[in-house]
Amino acid sequence: MRRALRELGVSTWFAGLRRNQAESRAQIPYLEWSGGRWKVHPIAEWTDRDVHRYLTKHQLPYHPLWEQGYVSIGDRHSTKPIHEVGTLEETRFYGLKRECGIHAINLGDL
């Protein structure tokens, strides 16, 4: 991702981050200047219900792992289904953090 943004000269990128996904995302603005480019969060205020309504309205499928209890997808080794953990935060990276790194660092510096 970092290399693609740099090599393609991307000046704006869109991300599907939502404020209710994690404490670290609670204050996400709709538009921010990040790493020398604009980063847009068009669904920042959407709830899980909003996502469900959108997918249903447009006849789009949920992620195939949703039915197995994966309410959030991270990496293969540290993502857990909700029935194996005590809280939503614990479904990713053993509950130690929510972000994988792509949104937590300044991509323009790399």
Locate tokens 């068009």: which residue? 42
Domain range for 48: 2-109
Higher pLDDT, 29 or 110: 29
Active site residues: 100
pLDDT at 31: 96
Binned at pLDDT 50, 70 and 90, residue 94 comes out as: low
Which region among 7-11, 45-49, 76-80 has the lowest average model confidence (pLDDT)? 76-80
Per-residue b or e along 29-47, where b marks 16 or more CB atoms closer than 10 Å to that residue's CB: eeeeeebebebebebbebe
Number of domains in the chain: 1
CATH number at residue 12: 3.40.50.620
**How many other C-beta atoms lie within 10 A of the C-beta of residue 97?**
15
pLDDT of 103: 63
What is the average per-residue pLDDT within 75-99? 79
Q: What is the pLDDT of residue 8?
A: 94
